[in-house]
A = this chain, B = another copy of it.
């Protein structure tokens, strides 16, 4: 009924286990059991346990570079989509959150980075890049353009990006830990974004003119 994709099945089973127990606490037998083979057979596909993690990291990195909107310097690409209303932003962000929460490999990779961040320097760097630096850089650019276009008030776009993204980052982690709280989190995200656009609303000089009629 299968085979030929055993190597891929091993990677998937490993990620699932590593994302909950961590690398060290997961045994080769467990992985083999999840795939439906004996542990000895696993060594036909990978030289050792460490090689599984290495392959996994490589795959996670490639998936990220290939598909994440935060990975690329395509910050100019979707400039056409601007300007943005608060409601559109809520929809867009909630959609993105739902996607990365429920996509199995993205979700598991994120959890694995969280678990291994204090133990494995390579994964620590990856964690900072994927779930902090790249996201902040992306939104700093986006917000800077929204300021240029008069959608948001003039202010420090780097701090604005942090105030926009980092609460969401914490809420995603909360959902990873307690999936039942997703609805509550979605409501908070909505209120957060609405309020963000409100407090960073430009003081329009046009208001002046409108008030003069």
Contacts and interface: CB of A to CB of B under 8 A. Distances in A.
A87 B195 CA distance: 24
A134 B188 CA distance: 17
A105 interface: no
A128 B162 contact: no
A84 B19 CA distance: 43
Contacts of A71: none
A132 interface: yes
A166 interface: yes
B178 A170 contact: no
Contacts of A111: 118
A118 B115 contact: yes
Among A114, A115, A124, A170, find the residue whose CB has the most chain B CB atoms closer than 10 A: A170
Contacts of A23: 25
A176 interface: yes
Interface of A: 19-25, 111, 114-115, 117-119, 124, 127-128, 132, 155-156, 158-160, 162-163, 166-167, 169-171, 174, 176-178, 188, 191-192, 195-196, 198-200
Contact of A163 (B20, B128, B167): B167
Number of copies of this chain that the complex holds:
2
Interface secondary structure of A, over-half rule: helix
B162 A188 contact: yes
Given A111-B118, A118-B115, A127 B177 contact: yes
A156 to B, nearest CB: 6
Among A23, A158, A167, A196, find the residue whose CB has the most chain B CB atoms closer than 10 A: A167
Contacts of A169: 166, 170
Nearest to A176: B118
Contacts of A177: 117-118, 124, 127-128
Contact of A195 (B22, B25, B118, B155): B155
A87 to B, nearest CB: 16
Contacts of A160: 195
Nearest to A125: B178
Contacts of A178: 124, 128
